[in-house]
Amino acid sequence: MSDFLDVLSVLILLSSFILMANKRIKSYIQTFRIQSALIALTAGIMGIDILSKEGRFDVLIVCVIIIAMKVIYIPHLLNKAYTNVEYKIEKDFFLNIPILIFVCCMIVVFCYFSISNTGGINLGIINLRVVNSVSLILIGLFFMISRKKAIGQIIGFLVIENGLFITAMLATQGMPFIVDIGIFIDMLTAVLILGIMVFKINEKFDSIDMNELKNLRG
């Protein structure tokens, strides 16, 4: 099982690189869907493992919720938002894509550097799964910084959430069920609100460019 998890954590990290290299908003959503599916798969494998060893099935429920929410419902919501805005492709970046990818690599190296001697996580050998998932959080944050359009910000936020979830999952073998449920409901609310905000920003400024929000400063 350990091998499966290693492979999956690398694949999840890879999906965030793919996300970073994308320009089309439609493919942001697709990549996010794939990433969520991978996370659901991870949760499923761990859930089966825990069910067979300890008899708990809450991780499996979490897995089902992930599939329902992150793989189906939220991408569906985002697609609806996508059809309503006129910007389909990100054109101007603060940094160009090769540099972004390079920075992402640096982030992974930095996470390795930072986490490799943290007590409690590394049992004998360096826990690469945690390194990968912490990198995912930072890459999500960096994705939010690098994109100017509001949908990019939402996707970045969701990637951060994915990263937090998978970090908690891999570091603790499943958090208490109630905590997971709480986080999911928070995230769902956040995405709903953000989706509405995208419409509003689009209406008010004729664009979803976050730089327009500067005008709100007092």
Residues at the site binding other proteins, with contacts judged by CB under 8 A: 94, 110-111, 113-115, 117-118, 138, 141-142, 144-145, 148, 153, 210-211, 213-217
Closer residue to other proteins (CB): 59 or 208: 208
* Paired strand residues for 89: 24
DSSP letter at 214 equals G
Q: Which residues of 45-83 are buried (b: 16+ CB within 10 A; e: fewer)?
A: bbbebbeeeeeeebbbebbebbbebbbeebbebbeebbe
Closer residue to other proteins (CB): 33 or 148: 148
Residue 151 C-beta: closest distance to other proteins, Å: 13
Closer residue to other proteins (CB): 32 or 143: 143
- As a whole number of angstroms, the distance between CA 74 and CA 164 comes to 17
Closer residue to other proteins (CB): 94 or 102: 94
Residue 181 C-beta: closest distance to other proteins, Å: 25
- Residue 170: closest CA among 123, 106, 138, 124: 123
- Residue 156: closest CA among 16, 10, 13: 16
Closer residue to other proteins (CB): 51 or 145: 145
Residue 153 C-beta: closest distance to other proteins, Å: 7
Which residue type does 96 have? N
Residue 114 C-beta: closest distance to other proteins, Å: 4
Residue 147 phi, psi (nearest 5): -95, 140
Which residue type does 85 have? V
Residue 47 C-beta: closest distance to other proteins, Å: 30
